[in-house]
Amino acid sequence: MRIAVVGPSRLPIAPPFGGGLEVFVHHLVAGLRRRGLTVDLFAARGSIGHQAALEFPGIDWTGFEDLARDDAYPPGADETETESYVRVRRHLDSSDYDVIHNNSSHPVMLHPDPMGSPPMITTLHVPPQEPMQKAIDAAGSAAGRFTAVSRFTAAQWNLPTSPQVVHNGVDTRLWTPGPGGQGAVWFGRLTREKAPHLAIETCRRLGLPLTLIGRNADPAYFHSQIRPHLGSDVRWMGSLSPREIVRQVGLADVALVTPAWDEPFGLVSIEAMACGTPVAAIARGGVAEVLEDVPDHLAAPGCPDDLVRAAVAALRQPRAEARALATSRFDLDIMLDRYLHHFLGVLTP
């Protein structure tokens, strides 16, 4: 089977990964290749093992650093990105791939050649976005089939056919158990919608030291809500290699997940649990679905007292139990099996 995987266009599929979507695409492509499948990756400049002749240019915020956000563009970048997607879409339309797996949210990908192109599955990693929804509405069944990373995300979209839910997976050979003992950890993109400031507030109320790990993806938010609160009990380590993140998460007693938006899935939750580190989280979006086996670890949105309670509950969970939840429900091989099942399904008349 020959598979074309279209990744996101902003950041490279390479460590240190910019976010959960980049991690997902990396593990998907690497896992499928390990199984002997031919996989071509279309991704941003700097990616590992991608089709460099048709790469996306990525987003360069040089000269506009203070305005940088993952949902915005510097001048001219939006148009350049669209041109790149048009080139990739034209290539795919004339190709002989068996399946296209689309992981982008650009509407150009939802406009296949009416004369025929390989079957496509689009995985929904984000809440509804108006340009993409309009493209789906216009294309109808020609847009192909859909999967979603959670039941919550699947229910948000208006689609021509019901999407299949395929939860994200974690490489439990990489994310291995650690001893704990060193307070709390928060990791991911440091943005206002991820709200790491809520983790700082919670840890200070509990008297727990906190380690923040991740890319400053929202400079204005970081400078107003995070930097002033760093100190001896709250440290920010910036972007780290995957193995160093694993080590730091494994050293933590609890991981805090604090979305201030409807998180589509929350990959950090299963990564932390794979390290044996219990998770306390705000129950927004797919996060509640991921942690449905430990409902007392979920806090009501907008309730700081309940997040403190959830963290205390998570601290009582045995580390082996947290690891077992990750391996039994979210192991990477489970995810790969399910995607292969759906890829084969689009080839069946």
104-118, 250-264, 299-313: range with lowest mean pLDDT: 104-118
Domain that holds residue 206: 184-329
Residue 34 covered by a domain: yes
Q: Do 38 and 113 sit in the same domain of this protein?
A: yes
Q: Do 156 and 197 sit in the same domain of this protein?
A: no
Question: How many whole angstroms separate alpha carbon 46 and alpha carbon 69?
Answer: 19
Residue 347: its pLDDT value, please? 82
Judged against a pLDDT cut of 70, whether residue 323 lies above it is answered with: yes
Residue 178 covered by a domain: no
Q: What are the pLDDT digits (tens) for 266-284?
A: 999 999 999 999 999 999 9
Q: Do 293 and 335 sit in the same domain of this protein?
A: no
| Of residues 52 and 346, more confidently modeled | 52
| Of residues 70 and 320, more confidently modeled | 320
Q: Do 325 and 335 sit in the same domain of this protein?
A: no
Q: Do 20 and 69 sit in the same domain of this protein?
A: yes
Q: Do 239 and 312 sit in the same domain of this protein?
A: yes
Q: Do 72 and 159 sit in the same domain of this protein?
A: yes
Q: Do 336 and 261 sit in the same domain of this protein?
A: no
In the numeric block, which tokens belong to residue 97? 């791939």
Q: What are the pLDDT digits (tens) for 192-243?
A: 999 999 999 999 999 999 999 999 999 999 999 999 999 999 999 999 999 9
Taking residue 334's Cβ as centre, other Cβ atoms within 10 Å add up to 15
Q: Do 325 and 338 sit in the same domain of this protein?
A: no
Q: Do 111 and 10 sit in the same domain of this protein?
A: yes
Q: Do 91 and 7 sit in the same domain of this protein?
A: yes
| Of residues 261 and 67, more confidently modeled | 261
For 114-158, give the DSSP string. TT----EEEEE-SS--HHHHHHHHHHGGGG-EEEESSHHHHHHS-
CATH number at residue 101: 3.40.50.2000
Are 74 and 66 within 8 A, CB to CB? no
Domain count, the chain: 2
Q: Given pLDDT bands bounded at 50, 70 and 90, which one contains residue 349?
A: low
